[in-house]
Chains A and B, each alone.
Chain A
């Protein structure tokens, strides 16, 4: 059995005083990391492989330039067997914003790998599109379930027993036919830290770079229908009273405010 896991390197804004240009946050204020949701998807794949006695291969796929290899090594260190990195100079930001482009690339990878199961995160923490997994399933013409917070794979019955986390503490109990794409919600498991041994092994694992030609994807399959017209820091609608000063002073203000609200232990 084969599991394909998508792993995106996401940007985080790590500076309080970041600046934005038209297209987004200026590069110098960004840091990069593995997408939080994908950490859980990776763990689902790796722990499933460990539970199965027969061999399950776990392959990760990342769409991104060479600098994403740092993140990919992390994924390999957590137990993924090998990685694919899709990149081509034709892949600009406009193309990557259009989910159909990503779905076309990932579908081409799936075609090559024939996975039984594809795991993606529910969304990426940077642009929060939340569309890649389900768009990929529809492109591959296979079954799917979005926002899964429990997954039990019954390979013999070719079924996944899944739970979808709905609103308000309710879950949908769903059976999905394999092959399938599942989008994984945070909290489904406890993502591991890479061990020293894992980090060493990751150095020897393969990261296969694939371009459009390798994937037989035509430049006309790259869609660019969404364009960013402007980026801004939202105007604050805050009417909050902010207490200022050293911690002992702000704590005094807070304590007084809480007493005024009638909140105290006595």
Chain B
């Protein structure tokens, strides 16, 4: 019996940041429960991963030495079996792309309630209480779980990574993977082609979002970029629509950029976008919606219509 079980995530021989963030979330929660924190690591170089995960506040690490990279069928089976053995009150999983690919299946197999993409997980003495966002971050809801146990996924970046060494014990867990139930064949990875510009090299980025409405209006953005000697980047919808190539996409599934100045024009500031630009030195936002989350991280802002502000700005810079 344990209180919190965290499942780490890794790819191409490295643990991903979210693993260390989950340790912080898990330890906080375990403290509130006066309890223990277990961490599991599945596939890949489990021995060395376990060493890196032996962090302050981690009580035990379970290693499942099976295969190299993530396969959701293997993870689902291994985590379900581990859950039976460890019997945690809360199972904490990452709300990463791979988390999206196995966490709901684990909850289903275990018959447990599932709360996804939480930005805060707490124990109120009786049950799990989480905070999650709705409507792209415009609204926050406090969601409680009415059950004895729960599966909760945590948004990457929501917690600071744990980094103090600890002395966890490491136990090998002998998961019985039923190969007939492995219905997906993960063949490998491929890097998405880059495109003609490297937005990660730019000192100044003029970044355009769905607020631009129409492909033809992009001229306005390129004119502004020219006036600032800047490079044009974009949020996902502009790339999805095929108006700009994938190499210009900023965010979780695009590029991570750290320019001196990042102008977000008609971009709401969704978490997957912010993941790619929060490291910019100075962030400037132009958006009609004063509640847009982009203003939470902006240094300067104008709450107004981009079609009024941007032409004026071009003129003034000209």
Which A residues contact B (CB, under 8 angstroms)?
A: 11-13, 16, 18, 20, 24-25, 97-100, 103, 122-123, 125-135, 137-139, 142-147, 163-177, 180, 183, 186-187, 190, 223-234, 236-244, 247-248, 250-255, 257-258, 261-265
Most buried by A among B107, B236, B315: B107
What residues on A are CB-neighbors of B300 within 8 Å? 240-243, 254, 257
> What is the interface of chain A mostly: helix, strand, loop, or mixed?
mixed
B90 CB, min distance to chain A CBs, angstroms: 14
Q: List 11 A-B contacts (CB under 8 A).
A: A16-B291, A130-B104, A134-B104, A171-B192, A172-B189, A228-B142, A229-B144, A242-B295, A247-B312, A250-B309, A257-B284
Which B residues contact A (CB, under 8 angstroms)?
A: 11, 16, 70, 72-73, 76, 95-98, 100-105, 107-109, 111, 113-117, 129, 132-147, 183-192, 203-204, 226-230, 236-237, 239-242, 246, 252-256, 260-261, 282, 284-285, 288-291, 293, 295-305, 308-309, 312-313, 315-317
- The 8 Å CB contact of B114, one of A135, A175, A227, A252, is A135
- The 8 Å CB contact of A24, one of B72, B139, B291, is B139
Q: How far is the CA of A231 from the CA of B304 in the complex (A)?
A: 27
Most buried by B among A146, A173, A226: A226
Q: How far is the CA of A49 from the CA of B57 in the complex (A)?
A: 54
- The 8 Å CB contact of A265, one of B70, B113, B129, B229, is B229
- The 8 Å CB contact of A242, one of B104, B237, B303, is B303
The verdict on A165 contacting B301 (CB below 8 Å), with A100-B113, A175-B184, A258-B261 known, is: no
- B100 touching A147 by the CB < 8 A rule? yes
- B298 touching A238 by the CB < 8 A rule? yes
Q: Of all chain A residues, which has the CB nearest B283?
A: A240
Q: How far is the CA of A98 from the CA of B101 in the complex (A)?
A: 18
- A13 touching B139 by the CB < 8 A rule? yes
The verdict on A138 contacting B101 (CB below 8 Å), with A229-B144, A231-B139, A242-B303 known, is: no
B124 CB, min distance to chain A CBs, angstroms: 9
- B135 touching A233 by the CB < 8 A rule? no
The verdict on A231 contacting B317 (CB below 8 Å), with A135-B105, A147-B101, A263-B204 known, is: no
- B291 touching A252 by the CB < 8 A rule? no
- A176 touching B116 by the CB < 8 A rule? no
What residues on B are CB-neighbors of A236 within 8 Å? 295-296
- B140 touching A231 by the CB < 8 A rule? yes
What residues on B are CB-neighbors of A190 within 8 Å? 241-242
What residues on B are CB-neighbors of A133 within 8 Å? 104
B155 CB, min distance to chain A CBs, angstroms: 10
Q: How far is the CA of A62 from the CA of B146 in the complex (A)?
A: 27
The verdict on A13 contacting B138 (CB below 8 Å), with A138-B108, A167-B252, A254-B313 known, is: yes
Q: How far is the CA of A180 from the CA of B105 in the complex (A)?
A: 14
What residues on A are CB-neighbors of B102 within 8 Å? 134
Q: How far is the CA of A22 from the CA of B60 in the complex (A)?
A: 40
The verdict on A227 contacting B144 (CB below 8 Å), with A134-B104, A138-B108 known, is: yes
What residues on A are CB-neighbors of B242 within 8 Å? 190
A16 CB, min distance to chain B CBs, angstroms: 6
- A233 touching B291 by the CB < 8 A rule? yes
What residues on A are CB-neighbors of B315 within 8 Å? 251
- A130 touching B116 by the CB < 8 A rule? yes
Q: How far is the CA of A248 from the CA of B108 in the complex (A)?
A: 56
If A227-B146, A240-B301 are given as contacts, then 12 extra A-B residue pairs at C-beta distance below 8 Å, sorted by A number, are A123-B100, A128-B136, A129-B116, A164-B101, A172-B186, A224-B146, A232-B140, A234-B140, A244-B303, A247-B312, A262-B260, A263-B230
- The 8 Å CB contact of A177, one of B137, B184, B302, is B184
B131 CB, min distance to chain A CBs, angstroms: 9
The verdict on A233 contacting B138 (CB below 8 Å), with A172-B189, A175-B184, A264-B228 known, is: yes
The verdict on A138 contacting B302 (CB below 8 Å), with A168-B253, A258-B261 known, is: no
What residues on B are CB-neighbors of A169 within 8 Å? 191-192, 246, 253-255
Most buried by B among A186, A248, A258: A258
B79 CB, min distance to chain A CBs, angstroms: 12
Q: How far is the CA of A144 from the CA of B109 in the complex (A)?
A: 14
The verdict on A251 contacting B316 (CB below 8 Å), with A146-B100, A169-B191 known, is: yes
Q: Of all chain A residues, which has the CB nearest B272?
A: A167
Q: Of all chain B residues, which has the CB nearest A36?
A: B237
- B255 touching A237 by the CB < 8 A rule? no
Q: Of all chain A residues, which has the CB nearest B146?
A: A225
- A226 touching B113 by the CB < 8 A rule? yes
Q: Of all chain A residues, which has the CB nearest B100?
A: A146
- B117 touching A166 by the CB < 8 A rule? no
- The 8 Å CB contact of B134, one of A24, A138, A168, is A24
Q: How far is the CA of A212 from the CA of B290 in the complex (A)?
A: 43
Q: How far is the CA of A192 from the CA of B86 in the complex (A)?
A: 49
Most buried by A among B141, B187, B296: B141
Q: How far is the CA of A98 from the CA of B15 in the complex (A)?
A: 31
Nearest 7 pairs between A and B by C-beta?
A251-B312, A187-B240, A143-B183, A225-B113, A247-B308, A138-B108, A146-B101
Q: Of all chain A residues, which has the CB nearest B255?
A: A169
- The 8 Å CB contact of B97, one of A13, A165, A180, is A165
What residues on A are CB-neighbors of B297 within 8 Å? 238
Q: How far is the CA of A257 from the CA of B298 in the complex (A)?
A: 13
B196 CB, min distance to chain A CBs, angstroms: 15
